[in-house]
Amino acid sequence: MAKKKIKVASPKTGCAACMPNTMEIPLGPQHPALKEPEHFLLEVEGEIIVNVTPRIGYVHRGIEKLAETKTYSQNLTLVERVCGICSHVHSISLVNAVEGILSKHDFEVPERAQYIRTIILELERVHSHILWLGIAAHEIGFDTLFMLSWRDRELSMDLLEEITGNRVNYGINEIGGIRRNMTKEQLDKTIKYMHLTIERLDRYVEICLKEDTIRLRTQGVGILLPSKAKELCTCGPTARASGLAVDIRYDDPYSAYKGALRDILKVVTYDTNDVFSRVVVRLIETIEACKYIIWLVENMPDGPVFAKPPRKIPEAKILSRTEAPRGELIHYLWSNNTNKPYRLKITTPTLANILSVSEMLKGDYIADSTISLASIDPCFSCEDRMITIINKDRRKSKVWTWNFDQLRKYSREWNAKNKRWKK
Amino acid sequence: MSDTKREQKVIDALKSQFGDKILEAEIPALRRVNIKVADPDQLEVFAFAKEKWNAWHMVAISGVDTPEKVIACIYHFDIIPPHNGETAVTMNLRVDCADYNNPKLTSSSEVIPGVQFFERETHDLLGIFFEGHPDLSRLILPEDFPDGVHPLRKDFLLEIQKEEAAKKAKK
């Protein structure tokens, strides 16, 4: 079981809207399920949740306003900072919007650049979904799977680091192409690592389908019926787990999905509508993503990876839709014939899915709220370069805080001593 | 631009149903349709699209403070095909608010309940008041943020924008 820090408030009085004999339990902003601040006010009757009021906005940073003061090239760096896990998809979305405007003025992006972008997009989906599997396993108290899956996530993280130079904010996109080409060795390594990842994931699918620990905690929990999902405009894997076949890669193709890749693209859906369904959809999607990466590497065209764009972007209004690991990402751009955007609107998948979480939690036990919350894969803001270790025994608590240099030193020493598991 | 037959079909269907209520309609790109209607008509368009094309998916709502000093609200929703190889058609439905200083629109949360959070976000950042919304409280801005200040309006300036303006004035 995951540890919970739930504070029980005094019985509610003087609220006409709530039912008699209900209590309010604040969940968050610092919470058991997520590493990101988000507040949920659970209204409970005994152990059963009857109503949920979400409150978001704790990490609002005013990025949309700031984007109006920066040039398009600077904005690519800015929008990558919206999210630490799916940073590439944000810059792809902006780049697609700008290139969409330029394409009406005879500007074309080299095809090889599109293929490499898509490889990174899919790698990002692989590492994000495996990360989610680890989190979900941790929430239900299956820490072995958590450790194992995060170990295997390192394969895709290492690939990303080798291709782009960074582990988190890749910074590989540029309007008109990409900044780094992929070498022959990198392509070979990608194929090798992806086969390894598929092998591992097959094992996890087997575990998730057969293991009682997972089935008992996830089946019948956090149910979101298709009719409700439609009503609440759910998107991404959460919608697909409720049996709705929506996938922007297929519905509104962009980058390399426009071409032959769309023919082998599968929209994975599952119809049990619960947390188990979301586990299955994400796992199968990850395996499919690995296959797309192999296909992209095998069919990679030769040629340049960058074409110089004009500095000023002609006036237009354009909507760019992309499928982020968590769902649908929207960038709506108004340009005004200068080098800065007039208005850039970003809508992230978690905002669209928050209402669905409230729906999922209703009628469930408090104990299941953490896995239901985690099941939509809410976006973790960013990774701190810092580690804090707290002893489980509180009386002898000991806190270590490492900065980046100390952490790096430790990792080097550890690697020198221990044989890395991959070799 | 390649074939835009399906987009044209969508516009034709809307025009035959609503006639003069559709103020503007164009196809800006492949798989995109831009429409403009006046205030309460958007509810009818949503209900019609939902019934005719099963267009349940409201993707987002964008509020824009336009250069013409109009607060515009743009609803993005898409028509998802029954997955036989076709792609979706996304509609950008624009509704202008009549009054710049006191913008008001009718809430569409009765037709599509999923828009509640998008509307609350737009209300926070641009100050559009949605009539008939069940709970139009603060969503994104902190609770101690001053009332009546909306950061995405063009008259709200960041420090960096003020500096730029001061530099320009000096020149």
CATH classification of the domain holding B18: 3.30.460.80
- Of B153, B24, B38, B21, nearest to B91 by C-alpha is B24
pLDDT band for A6, please (50, 70, 90 cuts). Answer: very low
Residue A18 lies in a domain: no
| The pLDDT value given to residue A400 | 47
Chain B residue with minimal CA distance to A239?
B57
- Of A346, A345, A368, nearest to A357 by C-alpha is A368
Chain A residue with minimal CA distance to B162?
A69
- Whether A315 and A417 share a structural domain: no
Rounded to an integer, what distance in angstroms lies between the CA atom of residue A285 and that of residue A245? 13
- pLDDT lower than 70: segments of chain B: 1-2, 82-84
pLDDT band for A410, please (50, 70, 90 cuts). Answer: low
B90 contacts in A (CB within 8 Å)?
252, 319, 321
A56 contacts in B (CB within 8 Å)?
139-140
| The pLDDT value given to residue A24 | 84
- Whether A422 and A343 share a structural domain: no
- Whether A111 and A165 share a structural domain: yes
| The pLDDT value given to residue A416 | 56
- Whether A347 and A414 share a structural domain: no
pLDDT at A222 > cutoff 50: yes
- Whether A336 and A239 share a structural domain: yes
B115 contacts in A (CB within 8 Å)?
233
pLDDT at A386 > cutoff 60: no
Interface touch B81/A232, C-beta < 8 Å? no
B33 contacts in A (CB within 8 Å)?
none
| The pLDDT value given to residue A11 | 44
What does DSSP say about strands B129-131 and B104-106: parallel, antiparallel, or unpaired?
parallel
- Interface residues of A toward B, Cβ cutoff 8 Å, are 56-57, 60, 62, 64-66, 69, 100, 104, 230-235, 245-246, 250-253, 267, 316-319, 321, 328, 330, 332, 334, 336, 342-343, 345, 347, 351-352, 354-355
Which residue has 């900072």 as its token pair?
A81
Interface touch A56/B139, C-beta < 8 Å? yes
- Whether A329 and A407 share a structural domain: no
Nearest to A330 among B56, B60, B156 (CB): B60
Residue A330 lies in a domain: yes
Rounded to an integer, what distance in angstroms lies between the CA atom of residue A6 and that of residue A367? 10
Q: Please, what is the Cα angle at A61 between B140 and A338, to 5 degrees?
A: 110
pLDDT digits (tens, 9 = 90+) for A21-59: 788 878 777 766 666 777 888 888 888 888 888 888 788
CATH classification of the domain holding A257: 1.10.645.10
- Residue B138 host element (H or E): none
Top residue of B59, B119, B155 to mutate, by most chain A CBs within 10 Å, is B59
ipTM of the complex: 0.92
Give the range of the structural domain holding residue A175, as residue numbers without chain letter: 63-352
A253 contacts in B (CB within 8 Å)?
87
- Whether A341 and A398 share a structural domain: no
- Whether A392 and A324 share a structural domain: no
Residue A6 lies in a domain: no
Residue A374 lies in a domain: no
Residue A192 lies in a domain: yes
| The pLDDT value given to residue A195 | 95
pLDDT at A395 > cutoff 90: no
DSSP string, A237-293: HHHHTTT----HHHHS--GGGGTTHHHH------SS-SHHHHHHHHHHHHHHHHHHH
B10-to-A16, A42, A126, B54, B93 alpha-carbon distances in Å: 46, 43, 37, 13, 13
- Of A233, A236, A239, nearest to A249 by C-alpha is A236
Structurally, how many domains does chain A consist of?
2
- Whether A88 and A170 share a structural domain: yes
Chain A residue with minimal CA distance to B135?
A53
Residue A199 lies in a domain: yes
**Section A399-405 average pLDDT:** 49
Q: Distance, in angstroms, between A34 CA and closest chain B CA? A: 18
**Section A289-299 average pLDDT:** 94
Interface touch B114/A235, C-beta < 8 Å? no
Residue A79 lies in a domain: yes
Average pLDDT, chain A: 82
- Whether A214 and A73 share a structural domain: yes
Q: Please, what is the Cα angle at A229 between A223 and A230, to 5 degrees?
A: 155
Kindly state the DSSP code that residue A368 receives in the 8-state scheme. G
Contacts of A271 (CB under 8 A, 6+ apart): A242, A243, A277
| The pLDDT value given to residue A14 | 44
Structurally, how many domains does chain B consist of?
1
Nearest to A251 among B65, B80, B121 (CB): B80
| The pLDDT value given to residue A44 | 85
B88 contacts in A (CB within 8 Å)?
251-252
**Section A84-94 average pLDDT:** 89
Nearest to A251 among B60, B87, B151 (CB): B87
pLDDT at A16 > cutoff 60: no
Interface touch B117/A69, C-beta < 8 Å? no
Name residue A11's amino acid: P
A66 contacts in B (CB within 8 Å)?
158
Residue A102 lies in a domain: yes
| The pLDDT value given to residue A408 | 54
- Of A184, A412, A210, nearest to A298 by C-alpha is A184
| The pLDDT value given to residue A36 | 73
Phi, psi (5° rounding) for residue A96? -65, -40
- Whether A283 and A335 share a structural domain: yes
pLDDT band for A219, please (50, 70, 90 cuts). Answer: confident
Give the range of the structural domain holding residue B161, as residue numbers without chain letter: 5-170
- Whether A315 and A418 share a structural domain: no
